[in-house]
Amino acid sequence: MTTTMSTRPAFETARPTSKLEVMKQNLFKQKRQISLERAKLYTASYQQTVGQPTIIRRAKATAYIMDHVEISIRPEELLCGNRTVRPRSGILSPEMDPYWIMQEIDTIGTRPQDQFEFTTADRQYYRENLLPYWSGQSMKDFINAKITPEVKAAEDDLVIKLNQTDKGQGHIIMDFPAILQRGVGTYVTTLTAKQAAHPDNDFYTAALIVFKAMQRHFDRYATLAQTMAADESLPTYRRIELTEMAAMNHRLTTAKPQSFYEALQLLWMTSIVGQYESNASSLSLGRMDQYLYPFYQASQQAGVPADFTWEVLGDFYLKTDDVVLLRSAESAKCFAGFPTGYTVALGGLDKYGQYAVNELSNKMLDLYQEIQLPQPNLSVRINEQIPRRFLNKTCETIRLGTGIPMLFNDEVCVPGFLSKGVSLDDARDYAVVGCVETTIPGKTYGLHDIALFNLMRIMELAMQDLRDEPAVTYDQLRQHILDKIDDYVKIVTAGSDIVDLGHREFAPIPFLSSLVADCIDNGQDVTAGGARYNFSGVQGIGEPNLADSLYAVKKLVFENHEMSFKALVDQLNADFAGDNGEKLRQHLIHDFDKYGNDNAELDMECAKIFRHYALELGKYKNIRGGEFNAGAYTVSAHIPLGEDVGATPDGRHAHDQLADGGLSPMVGRDHLGPTAVLKSVSKIDNTLAVNGSLLNVKFSPNTLKGDNGIRKFADFLMAFTQLKIRHVQFNVQSRETLIDAQQHPENYAGLVVRVAGYSAFFVDLNKRIQDDIIRRAEHVL
């Protein structure tokens, strides 16, 4: 049986004209539900492996899941591999943290953000079986026991927040090109030989267990497809498809893929195995248009109908929307609306330093225009060489208004990586992982989302410290902020290392590690430091508010001498209470310039502080010997992190949100249009934000109308490129549309909007985030 599809009998018989539409509808028919299946299987395996090394137990548990999880092939699907039978189920991993689930067990169905049904029977099972089993022996227990009083104090100060203490680490791009070029069989052979040569190395043993389970998992789908194909009630075309799927999945147990169809099947199955192994956010897809292109060409040359290629790729897109991540209520506030992180980077540079774009890059944008779902989260790598045709298509796609694709600037990202010791070839090959973090695909364990570091909160604490200082000066305030940054940076790196260690001890990921260079060579899991690049990324939060606040204090207190420092601090502590307080607040808002208006004096104050933060962080090495990298993004955490900060000298009330995104101006404070915004953002040395930064810009649909609109938008993006800003993303929805969608959600089920480093269904977001999106400045002329 051939799977090259050079002849496709199935394609010539009667079949639905809108396969993708059928699949898309099936995805959203049912309410989201929690599935205990993985947790139960994982636990059952763990009960059988007591006393064995953790990495072996993990591997066996993953294998056990793949051997026993219920599998399905849904109507019209061409690709196999559904994490759960019911679409968009939430998966629990109590081995990481059984407690948050218990705390939220009765509210998960009704909480404001990302609800899931949790059946009474399952809740009971959780309470009586899973919780008691994992209590006291989860990763969370390990981490909590290790947290030092210093780290705890910094968390209580609301300056730092450690992430990934309750779920898999994620934020990794596997070496998809390698597995597509070699096939699963080669990995089994290699690992078998390595294991024979190093019988004491548990990593090889563990990795082999999972790869062999992957082979069996493929065969389970092959058998299921064969069985379904025998169903005579199915139409002919479907039975032919199922027969082909059976043969293909069986073949892929060992063989390397030959066609685009096979490559996508192996790619998806690899991704699913990674999900079973770690249940983590952001096992991103890397540079799909680059590594899939040889397969795309091969299928074209073999005469595979373009419509079929389109459908298979469409099926792949839809599958990325099937996987949603169950987060705690707090985490769902920060990462609202299921940013699962199937992020893809299109275009960019090849190893010769030339712009890399091909027909598939274009097709992937075209397909997005048809499907328009939040995942895969497409991005385009832009640099000075980007061809206009591809840039125009990018602009046209952005104009749809869903915030996809976002843009990453090679002129910033490549030097950023070079500054961190990454080779030129590898730096040119970077891709996007998670929302806006960048990584070297297939070579990095980067803990890109390990901690948040609230710079605005530090300024607030610094002002409190100096309140009673009689002759305080501006320089003294600045210096005190810098000193505090140093203190907390030390603590946040220590805290990140504890979480890092927790994952090493509790959550090795041998399958995924085998697909990260140089783990197989080193015989080490990524969590043990086996990867080539070993970063940890800590996000500095609140730069725009810090810029505005510093400037206002400088002018109001130290230059204009309008009031004493102490009096200002007292007003802030009172949250601008009373008429005088409100008068001061209005004065602070309206009479002092703000970040986003291209005021060099103001912007540079913030730039200096960010530079200090990034360089200080860079002095530390993590437990894997890698560097700490600074980020400047909040995702949707600007709302919860704003709750942690009192009133600020930029006129912001206590507990109000911080500026959205990361580097975007505070909402409503920029009034000179988008060129001034870009200029302000460019003052902050984006190259230092190696881990990632985020800039939201909202355009009115009118601005982008017609060919002229596209031309000027593309010109604008070329200026963005030259200004060396790292990232930008756009919302192109009129205020009116969004307000109407908020009032009549029933009419806007499919409306996708940009939240932070990702897009989500507008109606899936809670009202606060919806309001925030509506408020973000709309640049219109």
Partner 1 sequence: MPADKGLIFNIQRYSIHDGPGIRTIVFFQGCPLRCPWCSNPESQGAVRPMTWTKNGKTETISYWATVDEILDEIEKDEVFYRTSGGGVTLSGGECLVQYDFAATLLREVKALGINTAIETTGAMPLKAIKKVLPYTDYVMFDLKIMNPILAKRVIGDDVGQVKASFEAALATPTAQVTPRVPLIPGYTTKPENLQQIADYVHEVGIHEIHILPFHQYGSQKYEYLKRNYTMKYTPLLTPTEVDNIHQFFTDQKITAIVSGLE
Where does this chain bind partner 1 (CB under 8 A)? 598, 672-676, 679, 702-703, 705, 712, 715-716, 718-719, 722-723, 779, 781
DSSP code, position 159: S
Cβ-based burial of 764 (10 A; exposed 0-12, middle 13-18, buried ≥19): buried
Q: How far is the CB of 152 from partner 1 (least distance, A)?
A: 47
Q: Which two tokens stand for residue 642?
A: 């704003």
Q: How far is the CB of 17 from partner 1 (least distance, A)?
A: 36
In the complex with partner 1, the residue whose CB is nearer, 504 or 779, is 779
In the complex with partner 1, the residue whose CB is nearer, 282 or 703, is 703
DSSP characters over 725-777? --EEEEE---HHHHHHHHH-GGG-TT-EEE-SSSEEEGGGS-HHHHHHHHHSP
Q: How far is the CB of 781 from partner 1 (least distance, A)?
A: 6
Q: Which two tokens stand for residue 229?
A: 């194909």
12 to 17, 241, 307, 311, 719: CA distances (angstroms): 12, 12, 12, 15, 49
Q: How far is the CB of 705 from partner 1 (least distance, A)?
A: 7
Query: Residue 562 contacts by C-beta under 8 Å, 6 or more apart in sequence?
Result: 556
Q: How far is the CB of 193 from partner 1 (least distance, A)?
A: 55
Residue type, 123: R
In the complex with partner 1, the residue whose CB is nearer, 17 or 708, is 708
Q: How far is the CB of 415 from partner 1 (least distance, A)?
A: 18
In the complex with partner 1, the residue whose CB is nearer, 207 or 697, is 697
Q: How far is the CB of 665 from partner 1 (least distance, A)?
A: 14
Q: How far is the CB of 679 from partner 1 (least distance, A)?
A: 6
In the complex with partner 1, the residue whose CB is nearer, 107 or 702, is 702
Helix pair angle (600-617, 543-553), 10° resolution: 130
Q: Which two tokens stand for residue 492?
A: 């946040």
* Distance separating alpha carbons of residues 484 and 53, to the nearest angstrom: 42
In the complex with partner 1, the residue whose CB is nearer, 176 or 716, is 716
In the complex with partner 1, the residue whose CB is nearer, 408 or 417, is 408
Contact 734, 741 (CB under 8 A): no
Q: How far is the CB of 46 from partner 1 (least distance, A)?
A: 58
Cα of 327 vs its chain's centroid, Å: 13
In the complex with partner 1, the residue whose CB is nearer, 333 or 779, is 779
Tokens 């030097």 correspond to 415
DSSP characters over 331-399? HHHHTTT-----EEEEE-B-TTS-B---HHHHHHHHHHHHH--S-SEEEEEE-TT--HHHHHHHHHHHH
Contact 680, 603 (CB under 8 A): yes
Q: How far is the CB of 579 from partner 1 (least distance, A)?
A: 16
In the complex with partner 1, the residue whose CB is nearer, 31 or 705, is 705
Cβ-based burial of 1 (10 A; exposed 0-12, middle 13-18, buried ≥19): exposed
**Among 494, 460, 495, 502, which residue's Cα sits nearest to residue 480?**
460
Q: How far is the CB of 722 from partner 1 (least distance, A)?
A: 5
Characterise 629 by phi-psi region: left (phi > 0), alpha (psi -120 to 50), beta (else): beta
Contact 445, 171 (CB under 8 A): no
In the complex with partner 1, the residue whose CB is nearer, 535 or 551, is 551
Q: How far is the CB of 647 from partner 1 (least distance, A)?
A: 24
Q: How far is the CB of 751 from partner 1 (least distance, A)?
A: 23
Tokens 């930029």 correspond to 650
In the complex with partner 1, the residue whose CB is nearer, 608 or 712, is 712
Q: How far is the CB of 779 from partner 1 (least distance, A)?
A: 7
Q: How far is the CB of 716 from partner 1 (least distance, A)?
A: 7
In the complex with partner 1, the residue whose CB is nearer, 583 or 705, is 705
Contact 195, 201 (CB under 8 A): yes
Element (H, E) at 160: strand 160-162
Element (H, E) at 297: helix 293-301
**For residues 165-187, b (16+ Cβ closer than 10 Å) or e, as one string?**
bbbbbbbbbbbbbbbbeebbebb
Contact 343, 729 (CB under 8 A): no
In the complex with partner 1, the residue whose CB is nearer, 139 or 547, is 547
Helices assigned H by DSSP within 507-595: 510-514, 519-522, 543-553, 565-573, 578-590
* Distance separating alpha carbons of residues 371 and 392, to the nearest angstrom: 19
In the complex with partner 1, the residue whose CB is nearer, 398 or 614, is 398
Q: Which two tokens stand for residue 551?
A: 């400037």
In the complex with partner 1, the residue whose CB is nearer, 613 or 699, is 699
In the complex with partner 1, the residue whose CB is nearer, 152 or 705, is 705
Q: How far is the CB of 744 from partner 1 (least distance, A)?
A: 26
* Distance separating alpha carbons of residues 39 and 509, to the nearest angstrom: 17
Q: How many Cα atoms within 13 Å fall on the side-chain side of residue 483? A: 11
Residue type, 342: Y
Sign of CA dihedral 346, 352, 355, 358: negative
Quote the Cα angle for 239-240-241, to 5°.
90
Q: How far is the CB of 161 from partner 1 (least distance, A)?
A: 36
In the complex with partner 1, the residue whose CB is nearer, 679 or 726, is 679
